[in-house]
Structure 1
Amino acid sequence: MPKRFQTIGMAGHIDHGKTTLTKALTNIETDRLKEEKERAISIELGYARLELDAKSQVSIIDVPGHEKFIRQMIAGVAGIDLVLLVVAADEGVMPQTVEHLDILQLLGIHQGLIVVTKMDQVEEDMKEFIEADINDQIEGTFLEGTEFLFVDSVSEKGIPELKQKITERLADIPVKDVKGAFRLPIDQVFTVHGQGTVVRGTVYEGRVKEADILELLPQKQKVRARQLQVHHEPQKEGSAGQRVAINLGGVSKQDIQRGDVLVSTQHYTTTDTIDVSLDTVKQLQYPLKQRGYVKMHVGTAEVYGKIVFFDRNELTEGKDVLCQLRLDNPVVTKRGDRFILRRPSPAETIGGGSVIDASGEKYKFGEATIEKLSRKKEGTPEERFIDVLKQNKGMTEKEVLNELAIEQDEFYALNQKLTADETILFLDNFFLLSATYDEAMALIKEDLQSFHDHNPLREGKDLAQVKQDFSFYGKEVAAAIIQRAIKGDDLEKKGSFVLIPTFRPHYPSQWKKRMEQVETTIFQQGIEVETFSHIVEQAGIPEILIEELKHYFIRSGVCIHLDEKHLVSSQVLDKVMTTLKKDTENRFTLQDAKSSLGLSRKYLVPIMEKIDELGYTKRDGQERVWVRELE
């Protein structure tokens, strides 16, 4: 059985004994900084390994309890599996206890234990009052009904029982997915002498191996995972749920900060416009105004921005409020990620919720936008796949994965199903709805039919022009649609032209008789034909159609270009070559040709050069040689 990698977070008010409790459980002092030791408070996140059993590798994150360090607290609890809400027996529930509980609830954390510390400092009969105080605060939260554990970290009373309870609870919690693409939000960055830049974080998804090439976001910088450590022990691999330190090559400490993210694939992107579902805390000090300034905490990142509502101009309290965050700087997130919103001034937690779409757009104020966001939020992956393809026409696999926020295995299964029932098509690296293809084909055929009606002499419409005309589908998507139509015989391609398969070039009805007259005249005049311009002028062909008629004659094989000014009938030329072949030997001179055809040099030389050009004869000094049989 593979090991379980899980993370526990400590939360609670300042000086309620979180760090001492961590040491009692792990025998590790998590306060590292000089200022932390001098002031006896936690300022930065602390980490320790908890030894439980051979099947588990558990990390404890000790988060600061002071209100000034809420950012560190949020960064620490993001991604944890189990929280220990710590309440000191001698003080009970305090302001930061309540705020930490609000944040945990808003981050969607579902598993926790309540640990009452400093029990040696109060009388045994105080337990009942302590429990009642805490129960009042946890009513309606994920901790309601949770078992209380009473400990004293100094004497270690109750610590073995707490360890046992932690073991039991962790065993019931599903481990994080290691199949997805690797993602590690960075919460610490530092340098090690002789090693270089090191980052730490809890692996959200996937796994990372030594020597992997990773991407640092939002910088979009390629880096190499040179070495890995888990709680100071070298490892070849780190998996989802583990606290991992990675020695990075190709980047300096100055280029990285808390909130940056390491990823393994390009499926993760940065964004500054995010559609979200927001739940507020129960009591806001002040209403949140439309486009009010907020601070978003997602993963380990903290970034400022504005909140945009589509159905109101201010918010005092609400649940499942569909809105949008427009950030000052990009973050890395995807559908389903949890976040916290805080007000910069006066500082308070506003609420939190989940990301609906990490690639939001600018929408109009009104019910239509709320309905659209609601569909995005509630829809199944299949419904959302279809919906995003309705919005975007054609999308690459990377774009679909970003929109749907599902893993590749689930996406492949979904793609297989929708392709099998012909709901979607996959064309040249693009997914699109079959309905979109049908719509595009109807428009393209309508466009081509109109082109054929107005230009019946032409072979078809230039393929590059058709792609350009339908580039509102996206240039590459339009090209893929047209290519599919050609392969499926919905369209026909001739050279650089595309046409409706049933179409063949023909004379325009209003000029049909005159153009037939031109064709007959050229045939009747034989080799000693007049200039093409003279013939069409005599027939009364409009100047705008003269060049098109000439190209039609040549493309259709009715005539051959004899020289710049003359066209000769293909039938006449065939008759001339047949006569010449019959009257000459394998090798013959220009005089032999003149004797056979009875033409003056004015027409004889161009005719012989044309026969050379067509590959039937070849000059050899003063003679010509037949090199190809007549067809």
Structure 2
Amino acid sequence: MDDTYFTIGMAGHIDHGKTTLTKALSNVDTDRLKEEKERSISIELGYAPLQIEEGVNLSIVDVPGHERFIRQMIAGVAGIDLVVLVIAADEGVMPQTKEHLEILEFLGIEHCIVAISKIDRVDDELLELVTEDIKEGLEGTIFRDAPFVYVDGVSGKGVDNLKQTMLSELKSVESRDAYGSFRLPVDQVFTVQGQGTIVRGTVYEGIVQKGSQLRLLPKDHKVRARQVQVHHKDQERALAGQRTAINLGGIDKEDISRGDVLVASDHFLVTKKIDVSLRFVAELKTPVNQRMPVKIHVGTSEVMGRIVFFDRNEVNKTGEEVLCQIQLEEEVVVRRGDRFILRRPTPVETIGGGWVIQPQGAKYRFGKETIAMLRNKKESTPEDLIEDVLSKHVLLDVKQLIQHTSLDEHVVKDAVTRGLEDRYLIEVNRQKYSLTKTFNKLKDEMTSQLKDYHQTFPMRLGMSKAELVQLFSKIYQKSFVEYSLNQLVEDGHLQKKEQFVSLAGFYPDLPKQWKQRMLEVINNLEKDGLSVKKWEEYVTGTPLSETDADELAVFLVQTKQAYRFMEDRLIHQSAVDDGIATLNEQTDDTFGIKEAKDILDVSRKYLIPFLELLDQLKITTRIEDKRKWIRKA
């Protein structure tokens, strides 16, 4: 069985024993900073490795509990799989504990263990009262059924039981996606003398290999992973769920900030406008107004922005879901489904949180239509999202589908595979995809266009392929139009002759109302043999319009009943055939102009164009002043 990797968050009020308990579990003191030692509080995130049993590897995140360090707390819990909520037996639930609970719930963390710490400081009666108080505080939250363990970090009492409870809870936790595109939100950056720039973070998804070429977003710096460590041990790679430090080449410490994101592909987009599903805290101290400044915490970033409502101008009730948009002052890197926290900058307080519906929002109108659109986006399946973007963009490859839907790479690939199997998707020109219904729509539009064309120009073989492609390329991508056209010809729905496209079974013919007159013109042309008059002379005196005459000329040429002869004349096919037969019979392998003139008994005015026509038809070839037969009977 492959190893699994999880991140465990130690959360709770200041001085409730999180750091001591982390040390009891892992034998690692996560208070690193001098000021942390002096003040006995955690300021920065602390991390410790723990292997509960063979194959189950944990990174314990000891997050700061003090209100002033809430940013670090949010950054720490944003990537965790299971939270251990530490509550001191001698103090019980504190205001900070309640805020942590709200943050954890907004961040979508579903798995929790309640660790009642410092049990050696209280008697059994007080411990029972504290337990009831905690259970009451958890009512109405997603953690109401969380298991309780009783521990003391100093004596080690209950620590083994906590480890076993962790193991039991983690069995129901889905491991992070190691097959998606690598993403690591940076929460720490520093330098080590002789080594250079180091970043730390929890791998949200994917794998990073030593030597990998990476991109740092949103600044879009290209960097290289010179060295990869997991809990201070060099590794060839780090997987989703692992706490890792990466030595980056090609960048200085000053060019990296907490909140930046390391990625290994160009699937990820940066944005300043996100559509979100938002819920508010149970008790708002003051209403939240339209376009109110807010501070959003997403991943490890903290960015100012404004909240934009589309169905209200104020929120003072809580509990309901609000679909809205956050317009940011700085770019962030988010994907659909990413969780976030909203805080009021002044007075500083957590006001809500939720998840990202669409990373790249647009400008929308206030009203029910926008809310309906956002709700539809929110409830969409991967197949729905793919269908939606393809209905707008017609033809996209997997990379573009990932960017536009903000779904994981393997989710998109799985959905595409199912779409091809269910035949609602088609593959176009090797790994580009479109909707079957879009193909059918174009098929109907092309059919209608050609039907109209045949009615307008019944004497033409069809519409020029180039003209047809150009016409529909104003609406669809040219490659999609060409693919569809070729497919319709292959399927027998359309037919192509030379460069002309027509409906299956169509053949040009003379219009009924002018058929007799046109046949007379054709007959006269045939009678004149090689000594043809100008084309306009054949139609002069007939009721045919100039357009009708031009269309008849096109008809004769396209159906091979005649050829263009000089600039203003046509020559009938029978005249050409007779001339070829006569020359063929009375000449050797080569012949000259004078010889041909004597045989055909025509002037040079007609002879030279006729011989040039034979060259064009590859019946003869010119060698100096002679013609040589290429095809001789």
TM-score (norm 1): 0.90
Aligned to 2:58: 58
Q: Aligned letter for 2:488?
A: A
Shift of 1:172: 4.6
Call closer, same or farther: CA 1:315–1:611 in 2, change over 3 Å: same
Residues 487-520 of structure 1: CA distance to partner in whole angstroms, max 9, x if unpaired? 3222333444433233333445555455444333
Kept in 2, the 8 Å contact 1:425–1:431? The answer is: yes
Query: Deviations for 1:327-355, whole angstroms, at most 9, x for unmatched residues?
Result: 33443333332222222232221212223
Alignment of 1:165-180 (within 5 A): 165-180=165-180
The CA distance in 1 between the partners of 2:620 and 2:471, in whole Å, is 45
Corresponding residue for residue 352 of structure 2: 351
Q: The residue matched to 2:53 in structure 1 has which SS?
A: coil
| Structure 1 Cα separation of the partners of residues 460 and 587 of structure 2 | 39
Counterpart in the other structure of 2:505 = 502
Counterparts of 1:379 and 1:606, CA distance in 2: 69
* 1:171 Cα deviation from its structure 2 partner: 4.4
Q: Distance in 2 between matches of 1:626 and 1:464?
A: 35
Work out whether 1:21 is the aligned partner of 2:21: yes
Q: CA deviation at 1:126?
A: 2.7
SS of residue paired to 1:325: strand
Q: Which residue of 1 aligns with 2:620?
A: 617
Moved over 6 A (4+): none
Q: Distance in 2 between matches of 1:619 and 1:386?
A: 60
Matched residue pairs, number? 630
Say whether residues 1:233 and 2:239 are aligned partners. no
CA distance in 2, matches of 1:565, 1:214: 67
Stretch deviating more after TM superposition (555-564 or 383-392): 383-392
Residue 57 of structure 2 aligns to a residue whose secondary structure is: strand
**Secondary structure of the structure 1 residue equivalent to 2:609:** helix
User: What residue number does 1:437 align with?
Assistant: 439
Aligned to 2:598: 595
The residue that corresponds to 1:196 in the other structure is 196
1:588 shift after superposition: 2.6
Q: What is the aligned counterpart of 1:607 among 596, 607, 610?
A: 610
What is the identity, as a one-letter code, of the residue corresponding to 2:526? F
Q: Distance in 1 between matches of 2:176 and 2:500?
A: 54
Identity of aligned residues (%): 47
Alignment CA distance shift 1:543-1:203 (3 Å): same
Query: For residue 558 of structure 2, what is the aligned residue in structure 1?
Result: 555
For the 8 Å contact 2:111–2:146, the answer to whether it is kept is: no
- Amino acid in structure 2 at the alignment position of 1:419: L
What is the DSSP-based 3-state SS (H/G/I as helix, E as strand, rest coil) of the residue aligned with 1:79?
coil
Distance 1:342 1:599 in 2: 97
SS at match of 2:475: helix
User: Where do residues 484-563 of structure 1 align in structure 2 (5 Å cutoff)?
Assistant: 484-509=487-512, 511-539=514-542, 541-544=544-547, 547-563=550-566
Conserved 8 A contact 2:464-2:500: yes
Matched residue type, 2:457 = N
Which residue of structure 2 aligns with residue 319 of structure 1? 320
**In 2, Cα distance between equivalents of 1:152 and 1:571:** 109
CA distance in 2 between partners of 1:623 and 1:604 (Å): 13
Three-state SS of the structure 2 residue aligned to 1:52 is: strand
Shift of 1:578: 0.6
Give the counterpart of 2:580 among 577, 582, 586: 577
Change (3 A) 1:600 1:481: closer
Query: d(CA) in 2 for partners of 1:49 and 1:73?
Result: 19
1:545 & 1:215 partners in 2: Cα distance?
65
CA distance in 1, matches of 2:221, 2:465: 39
Could you state the TM-score of these two structures normalised by the residue count of structure 2? 0.90
Alignment of 1:155-554 (within 5 A): 155-316=155-316, 317-386=318-387, 389-390=390-391, 393-402=394-403, 407=408, 411-428=412-429, 429-470=431-472, 471-509=474-512, 511-539=514-542, 541-544=544-547, 547-554=550-557
Residue identity opposite 2:169 in structure 1: R
SS of equivalent to 2:136: helix
Residue aligning to 1:83: 83
The residue identity in structure 1 corresponding to 2:503 is I
> Contact between 1:397 and 1:430, CA under 8 Å: does it hold in 2?
yes
* Letter of the 2:590 counterpart: R
8 Å contact kept, 1:427–1:484? no
The 1:498/1:239 distance shift into structure 2, 3 A limit, reads: same
For the structure 1 residues 556 and 227, does the alpha-carbon distance in structure 2 shift closer, same or farther, using more than 3 Å as the test?
Answer: same
Amino acid at match of 1:595: D
Match of 1:564 in 2: 567
**Paired residues of 1:335 and 1:403 also in contact (CA < 8 A):** no
SS class of match (2:52): coil
From 623, 627, 631, give the equivalent of 2:630.
627
SS in 1 for 2:71: helix
Query: The residue matched to 1:30 in structure 2 has which SS?
Result: coil
Q: What code does the residue aligned with 1:180 have?
A: G
For structure 2, list consecutive stretches of 5 or more residues without a partner in the other structure.
Answer: none
| Segment drifting more, 73-82 vs 613-622 | 613-622
Q: Classify 1:533/1:377 alpha carbon distance in 2 versus 1 (closer, same or farther; 3 Å).
A: same
CA distance in 1, matches of 2:285, 2:179: 43
- Whether 1:12 aligns to 2:12 is yes
Letter in 2 for 1:114: V
SS of residue matched to 2:454 = helix
Amino acid at match of 1:346: P
Bigger Cα displacement from structure 2, 393-402 vs 14-23: 393-402
Aligned mates of 1:191, 1:465 — CA distance in 2? 62
What's the C-alpha RMSD, in Å, of the aligned pairs?
A: 3.0
Kept after mapping to 1: 8 A contact 2:64/2:72 = yes
The one-letter code sitting in structure 1 at the alignment partner of 2:63 is V
Distance in 2, matches of 1:386 and 1:71, equals 38
What secondary structure does 1:480 align onto?
helix
- Distance (whole Å) between structure 2 residues aligned to residue 108 and residue 125 of structure 1: 34
- Say if 1:460 and 1:189 are closer, same or farther in 2 by CA, change over 3 A: farther
Determine the C-alpha separation between the residues in 2 that align with 1:292 and 1:512. Answer: 77
- The 2-side partners of 1:92 and 1:478 are apart by 68
On the 8 A contact 2:229/2:235 being kept in 1, the answer is yes
> Does residue 128 in structure 1 map to residue 131 in structure 2?
no
Shift in alpha-carbon separation, 1:474–1:605, aligned structure 2, 3 A: closer
Amino acid at match of 1:491: L
C-alpha separation between the residues in 2 aligned to 1:273 and 1:491?
Answer: 46
Cα distance in 1 between the residues matched to 2:172 and 2:396 = 39
Q: Map Cα deviations across residues 423-480 of structure 1 (whole Å, 9 max, x no partner).
A: 3323334433333322222122112222332233444334344344434344444443
Taking the aligned partners of 2:596 and 2:28, their CA distance within structure 1 comes to 108
Cα deviation 1:497-550 (Å, max 9, x = unaligned): 433233333445555455444333322222111223443445465445555544
Contact 1:42/1:63 (8 A) holds in 2: yes
Q: From the superposition, tell whether residues 306 and 460 of structure 1 become closer, same or farther in structure 2 (CA, over 3 Å).
A: farther
Change (3 A) 1:67 1:486: farther
8 Å contact from structure 2 (residues 343, 352) kept in 1: yes
Matched residue SS, 2:328:
strand
